[in-house]
């Protein structure tokens, strides 16, 4: 029987000091005004070159990141593996615009693939398209009716080359690669490029994974479409299923530009579609592979029931649960203790470079209803349990 209430299992890898640090960090994140001030202060401090790296590294960086480079992540990889949890190394440097930076990031992603080769502790690699491409070109290419200039075509071709280089390395080393979802006004570009890689590299198994954000109301139809296409095309389709991370931005842009919002009208609709997608994927697992990226207990429980209902081997490489490092350990560790395939996203990179990611984590914990309260409650229960 699965339960997510066992805090002894959930926090078994944490020292008392770790628990206290996490408790106070989530306590602070629970106050939106404090988070807003902290973001402002951090950005100002960085611009003024104030020595705040040490503070960040000992607090929010330690909670949500594995290290400043791949080697630095070794300790976290081993710690997670000791508890039957895989690591997804996520190079979380953002906001670059130069070709030299895109090439550097491409090589970094390839290095994570090489690190994962023949290493069961690292079951996947991952990257964001905007880590190796300008947002502008992806946006221009999003509408297939847009005619790109020769210079833009050259840039777009460079993006495809970098993506293919990464996916080819994943295929060569038998390491599945996630391509993250992003804003809707560049997602069609991402979907098309990803599909071309899926058709090329997923003949034997799912190596390339696309990401579906179920807070979009059109994704169930998209899911049904790609299932039909993969069956007809005789290739496997890897799916990372998430709820989504750009909701406020999506709604604001739709309102500003006067088009219908792509976002579900209610959270209940997002939850309903997410859980429906889980069942549809389980029904078609012969052609699909799933990584369910969720911090939702109900969806995690539903997927465990669907695995049993459709007689899917819980150790199948086509079926994974995933959560972010530093969050929802009660889901990750309790599932792993029951021998389900579980992995943690482990972001890494130079502290100043991954700061946008860290600030987004703080924002999300503040805005997602109940997330911070749930973390605090579980940490309190475990602290009290250890005192007895």
Question: Cβ contacts of residue 218 below 8 Å, gap of 6+?
Answer: 262
Q: Please state, in angstroms and rounded to a whole number, the distance separating the CA atoms of residues 251 and 231.
A: 34
pLDDT on residue 362 = 61
Q: What is the domain partition of the chain in residue ranges?
A: 1-65+354-388, 66-348
pLDDT tens for residues 170-205? 999 999 999 999 999 999 999 999 999 999 999 999
pLDDT on residue 287 = 94
Return the closest-CA partner of residue 81 out of 51, 122, 110. Answer: 122
pLDDT on residue 308 = 96
The three-class DSSP label of residue 8 is helix
pLDDT tens for residues 100-136? 999 999 999 999 999 999 999 999 999 999 999 999 9
Question: Cβ contacts of residue 108 below 8 Å, gap of 6+?
Answer: 91, 93
pLDDT > 70? residue 373:
yes
Distance of alpha carbon 342 from the chain centroid:
13
pLDDT on residue 42 = 63
Q: How many CB atoms lie within 10 A of CB 71?
A: 10
Question: Cβ contacts of residue 24 below 8 Å, gap of 6+?
Answer: none
pLDDT on residue 133 = 95
pLDDT tens for residues 27-38? 877 666 765 656
**Class of the CATH-defined domain 66-348:** alpha beta
Cβ atoms of 187 and 138 closer than 8 Å: no
Return the closest-CA partner of residue 197 out of 157, 172, 167. Answer: 167
Instruction: Say what the pTM is.
Output: 0.92
* Dihedral of alpha carbons 155, 156, 162, 164, sign: negative
- Tell me what percent of the chain is helix, strand and coil, each rounded to the nearest 5: 60, 10, 30
Return the closest-CA partner of residue 274 out of 336, 211, 325. Answer: 211
pLDDT on residue 58 = 82
CA angle 27, 264, 283 (to 5 degrees): 100
Residue 252: both structure tokens together: 């604001």
pLDDT tens for residues 205-240? 999 999 999 999 999 999 999 999 999 999 999 999
Classify residue 324 by its DSSP letter: E
């Amino acid at each position: 029987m699965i339960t997510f209430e066992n805090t002894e299992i959930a926090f078994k890898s944490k020292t008392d000091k770790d628990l206290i640090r996490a408790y106070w960090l989530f306590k602070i994140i629970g106050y939106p005004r404090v988070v807003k001030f902290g973001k402002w202060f951090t950005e100002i401090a960085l611009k003024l070159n104030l020595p705040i790296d040490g503070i960040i590294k000992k607090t929010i960086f330690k909670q949500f990141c594995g290290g400043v480079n791949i080697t630095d992540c070794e300790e976290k990889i081993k710690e997670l593996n000791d508890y039957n949890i895989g690591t997804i190394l996520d190079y979380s440097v953002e906001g670059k615009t130069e070709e030299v930076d895109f090439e550097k990031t491409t090589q970094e992603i390839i290095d994570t693939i090489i690190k994962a080769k023949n290493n069961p502790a690292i079951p996947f690699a991952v990257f964001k398209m905007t880590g190796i491409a300008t947002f502008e070109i992806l946006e221009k290419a999003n509408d297939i009716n847009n005619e790109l200039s020769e210079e833009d075509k050259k840039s777009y071709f460079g993006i495809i080359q970098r993506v293919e280089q990464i996916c080819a390395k994943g295929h060569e080393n038998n390491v599945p690669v996630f391509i993250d979802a992003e804003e809707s006004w560049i997602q069609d570009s991402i979907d098309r490029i990803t599909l071309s890689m899926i058709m090329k590299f997923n003949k034997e198994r799912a190596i390339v994974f696309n990401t579906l954000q179920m807070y979009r109301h059109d994704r169930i139809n998209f899911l049904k479409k790609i299932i039909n296409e993969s069956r007809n095309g005789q290739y496997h389709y890897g799916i990372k299923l998430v709820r989504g991370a750009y909701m406020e931005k999506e709604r604001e842009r739709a309102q500003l530009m006067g088009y219908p919002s792509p976002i579900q009208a209610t959270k209940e609709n997002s939850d309903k579609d997410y859980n429906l997608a889980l069942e549809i994927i389980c029904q078609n697992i012969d052609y699909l592979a799933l990584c369910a990226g969720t911090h939702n207990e109900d969806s995690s429980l539903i997927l465990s029931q669907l695995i049993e209902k459709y007689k899917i081997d819980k150790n199948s490489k086509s079926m994974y649960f995933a959560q972010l490092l530093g969050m929802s350990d009660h889901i990750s560790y309790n599932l792993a203790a029951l021998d389900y395939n579980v992995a943690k996203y482990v972001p890494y990179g130079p502290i100043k470079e991954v700061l946008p990611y860290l600030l987004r984590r703080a924002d999300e914990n503040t805005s997602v209803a109940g997330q911070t309260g749930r973390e605090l409650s579980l940490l309190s229960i475990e602290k009290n349990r250890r005192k007895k």
